[in-house]
Amino acid sequence: MSEPYTPWFLPAEQQPATHPQLMGRLAGAEVVLLGERHDQAAHHRWQLHVAAGLAAHRPIVMGFEMFPARLDQVLHSWVFGKLDEDIFLERCEWANVWGFPAELYMPIFRFCREMKIPMVGLNCRRELVREVGAGGWQSVPEENREGLTPARPSSEAYRRFIFELTGGGAPGRKVTSAEDPGFDRFVRAQEVWDRAFATRIRNAVCRPGKPLVVGIIGMGHLQWGGGVPWQLEDFGIHDVRVLIPQGESQPMLAAGAADAVFRLPETETETEAELSDA
């Protein structure tokens, strides 16, 4: 008798896993990072299902790339029912700080509110990203760094990953390789985001009761052991798991790309544009 189908796959072990089995394993971690493409409604539905599965095992805190940390009090007010949805989106400056349709994310935000799950912002101000990208951390006075320390330099593997992710050696591109010094500015900017997300996650991990921290973050910040996991390791946080959604027709990710992959039916990978047409 064949094994029942499961959409979960473990790249390192090259074998599937059941949902209950995987949720039980992940619940023992310090941090679980759920990747996304920001415009994919199916990715956000998947994130909600995983967060609910983890919350059934132990208390969680949810961290969001979409919000800068300065808006944490607004997130707190939302979770505890002090704001309606329109006021919440206005006070968290959604149109300015993120811009993707709020409908993509509202089911997760409502889940946090209904279950009284703390929400924290992981992001920093955009100007800091630009300033460090242009001149390095030494160009930014310490009082303007939002409590962030200089990022751990990225590994060569992560540089190669984000080089390919951003177009690789496309014809006409000035930067010809991941090692090209001309790529340093982009990498420095990416590292500011990675360091900011990791710093806020570390702060949440250290809360009383040691909750499991679930991060909602773009996939480009998570894969191949780089990005946020790399910066968390610099803080001494090693028990981090990365989960990635992908379409069933996409090539299976190799070992090292993520800890677990969820295979989505292609009909469920609608984009922002398709969602808005519905």
pLDDT for position 94: 98
Instruction: Please tell me the distance from the alpha carbon of residue 232 to that of residue 31, in angstroms, as a whole number.
Output: 9
* Contact (Cβ atoms closer than 8 angstroms) between residue 228 and residue 215: yes
What pTM was computed for the model?
0.93
- For residue 272, pLDDT over 60 is answered with no
Tell me the per-residue pLDDT of 197-250, one tens digit each, with 9 for 90 and over: 999 999 999 999 999 999 999 999 999 999 999 999 999 999 999 999 999 999
Instruction: Tell me the domains of the chain and their CATH numbers.
Output: 8-266 (3.40.50.11550)
Tell me the per-residue pLDDT of 11-37, one tens digit each, with 9 for 90 and over: 999 999 999 999 999 999 999 999 999
pLDDT for position 274: 39
Residue with tokens 């946090």: 112
User: In the chain, what is the straight-line distance between the N-terminal and C-terminal CA atoms, in Å?
Assistant: 41
Give which of 194, 201, 202 is closest to 154, Cα–Cα.
194
